Structure 1
Amino acid sequence: MFFTLQELVRWLRMTAFELWLHVISVLAFSVLAVLKYEAVLNLSWWVIFIPLFACDGLNAYFCVIVFIREYMQVDIKAAFLRFLMSGLSLVLLFLFKLLLCQRLSGQRETSVSEVMGPLFVLLQIVMVRACRTH
């Protein structure tokens, strides 16, 4: 019923460390979003989204380190492939969060389908990866 850690790592092409970064940042974001919704905190949406953007930055830094280590071990093709796929996932997630934050703060009038577009593309990529592993 639940996915194992090995399945998630294989399908998402993320390490367990990267997955934990995302879990912690989503937890912090959820707490801040609920506090803003309940009017306990009077912060802008940009401040509420800081944990998610910080996670993206740390994840990008981690991907660059992994790319450099794989490149130095003369596994150039695998290094570029992993860096390309991780970078694409990071860019799509960042774009989704950016568009959502702009929509919630009222800076941009976008439809829900425009905001969810990068997430749909990312889900299709994950679907293809899941089909290739079985």
Structure 2
Amino acid sequence: MFFSLRELTLWLGVTILEVFVWLTALLVTLVLVVLRVEGVMPTVSWWVVLSPMFIADALNTYFCVIVLIRMYLDGVLKPAALRALWSFSVLTLGFTFKFLLCRKLMEPSQLEYSAVMSPVFVLLQLILIRACHLN
């Protein structure tokens, strides 16, 4: 029923460090969301509340660039390019979703929910294709 860590990292195309950074940022963000919704920090912007997720994206992008450079220097060109393409597309889609979510939360009437969720749907389709390709 549950996926193992090996399966999860293989299907998502990320390392354990990236998963740890995402989960840590998610925990901090959830605490900030609860504090914002419950009225403990009512004046704090949604951009500040979701800033740990944006910081996690920046750290994971930095990590992916380092891995790309190391793989390139080791002479593993094709896997380096494929890994970089996959990682940057996942990070870009995640960043786009978070950006659109912040815009929707700041100005509720401006964007439709389907527009906000569209990067997630594209990401799920990419993960589905990757999972089918690996099996």
3-state SS, counterpart of residue 3 of structure 1: coil
Counterpart in the other structure of 2:2: 2
3-state SS, counterpart of residue 114 of structure 2: helix
* Amino acid aligned to 1:4: S
Separation in 2, partners of 1:127, 1:31: 30
Q: Which runs of 5+ in 1 are unaligned?
A: none
Separation in 2, partners of 1:82, 1:57: 17
Aligned length: 134
Q: TM-score, normalised by structure 2?
A: 0.97
Following TM superposition, the consecutive aligned residue runs of length 4 or more in structure 1 with deviations greater than 6 angstroms are: none
Displacement of 1:107 after TM fit? Answer: 7.6
Separation in 1, partners of 2:114, 2:62: 30
Q: TM-score, normalised by structure 1?
A: 0.97
* Amino acid aligned to 1:25: A
Counterpart in the other structure of 1:28: 28
Counterpart in the other structure of 2:14: 14
User: 1:19-98 to 2 correspondence within 5 Å?
Assistant: 19-42=19-42, 43-98=44-99
Displacement of 1:78 after TM fit? Answer: 0.8
* Amino acid aligned to 1:86: S
